[in-house]
Amino acid sequence: MENFAIDSSKKKKFIIFGGGFSGNYIANEIRKLGYKALTSSRQVTNNPSNFFFDSLSSTLPPEHIFEGTTHVLSCIPPDKSGKDPVLSRLHKKLKSLNLEWVGYLSTTGVYGNTFGEWVTEKDPAKPLQDRSKRRLLCEKSWLDSSLPVQIFRLPGIYGPGRSTFDSILKKNIKVIHKPNQVFSRIHVADIANAILFLLKINNENFKQIINIADNYPTSQIEVIQHSYKLLGLRMPEPINFEDAKKLLSPIALSFWEENRRVSNAMLCKDLGYKLIHKDYKSGLKNCLEIMKQKNLI
């Protein structure tokens, strides 16, 4: 396998498809290092760091976007048929660029239900949900693309602007109790930082598929309880899962059908990445600090 490390002696330009929550955060972290990073959006904007890309539109990004591009990251989920939105429109273009590195944000949903057991990259993918089956198809398309691809499998993503605090303040939180149910999660800062760390060390030890998760999978109720405590508010009485089923949308319900502890041992033990937020307590503290700085709270 080829290696794709960042070589600081050369100019770098990143194109990030999907400037949503993670894509935008990662782009900002890349810019802080002095590299150029453009993000895509399905809306036309005046922002020169942003370009239009909608896989359902016949308009493709203009040629000048691609000039000098060395790195590409896709943060766009699969389309309804399981095709990858970027590859289905731009595979040939990407191949023509002679890229140093291509990243793809995937999900740990591809592992399916492990009934609370730990899961590592060595475990076979056994997707349960249709969306996770489509995701696995996209992973395969990237792996077969003959591009220098690295895949990041992510659990629930949270961070400033997308945390339990936001749900509590918007009053759209449901406090649900389901015994023995855990979720894994990752703060968006660790997604960005782990990717940049891997870009640096890929030369010595390149792994094609990597989980990025924190150290502490735990119940959702534990996280919600802690959030209420930090806000100085009283948590509502939890609803038992069986009763909550009627209140949940099919997509929300589907998340409760899987119970997994995602291992980060490859990233943190084998490769030596140090998490910024090793658990939800550290991550939530950061979210709250930022909300206070922005006078949102």
Ligand X SMILES: NC(=O)c1ccc[n+]([C@@H]2O[C@H](COP(=O)([O-])OP(=O)(O)OC[C@H]3O[C@@H](n4cnc5c(N)ncnc54)[C@H](OP(=O)(O)O)[C@@H]3O)[C@@H](O)[C@H]2O)c1
43 near ligand X, rule: CB under 6 A: yes
Residues between 143 and 182 that touch ligand X (CB under 6 A): 154, 156-157
Query: How many other β-carbons are positioned within 10 Å of the β-carbon of residue 121?
Result: 18
Q: Residue 9 Cβ, how far from ligand X at the closest point, in Å? A: 31
Q: Residue 77 Cβ, how far from ligand X at the closest point, in Å? A: 4
Site for ligand X (CB under 6 A): which residue of 5, 13, 36, 42? Answer: 42
Site for ligand X (CB under 6 A): which residue of 50, 69, 70, 107? Answer: 107
Q: Residue 49 Cβ, how far from ligand X at the closest point, in Å? A: 13
Site for ligand X (CB under 6 A): which residue of 20, 148, 160, 283? Answer: 20
279 near ligand X, rule: CB under 6 A: no
Residue 17 to residue 38: CA distance in whole angstroms? 8
Cβ partners under 8 Å of residue 286, min gap 6: 159, 160, 187, 189, 277
Q: What is the 3-state secondary structure (H, E, C) of the chain?
A: CCCCCCCCCCCCEEEEECCCHHHHHHHHHHHHCCCEEEEEECCCCCCCCEEECCCCCCCCCCHHHHCCCCEEEECCCCCCCCCCHHHHHHHHHHHHCCCCEEEEEEEHHHHCCCCCCEECCCCCCCCCCHHHHHHHHHHHHHHCCCCCEEEEEECEEEECCECHHHHHHCCCCCCEECCCCCECEEEHHHHHHHHHHHHHHCCCCCCCEEECCCCCCECHHHHHHHHHHHHCCCCCCCEEHHHHHHHCCHHHHHHCCCCCEECCHHHHHHCCCCCCCCCHHHHHHHHHHHHHHCCCC
Site for ligand X (CB under 6 A): which residue of 6, 37, 38, 55? Answer: 55
Choices 37-45, 59-67, 198-206, 260-268; region in contact with ligand X by CB under 6 A: 37-45
75 near ligand X, rule: CB under 6 A: yes
CB 128 within 8 A of CB 257: yes
Q: Residue 10 Cβ, how far from ligand X at the closest point, in Å? A: 27
Choices 70-78, 165-173, 208-216, 235-243; region in contact with ligand X by CB under 6 A: 70-78
Q: How many residues bind ligand X, per CB under 6 A?
A: 23
Q: Which residue's CB is nearer to ligand X, number 22 or number 220? A: 22
Choices 2-10, 30-38, 47-55, 263-271; region in contact with ligand X by CB under 6 A: 47-55
Q: Report the residue closest to ligand X, judged by CB.
A: 20
Q: Residue 158 Cβ, how far from ligand X at the closest point, in Å? A: 7
268 near ligand X, rule: CB under 6 A: no
Choices 75-83, 121-129, 244-252, 253-261; region in contact with ligand X by CB under 6 A: 75-83
Task: Provide the binding-site residues for ligand X, judged by CB under 6 A.
Answer: 18-23, 41-43, 53-56, 75-77, 79, 85, 105, 107, 154, 156-157
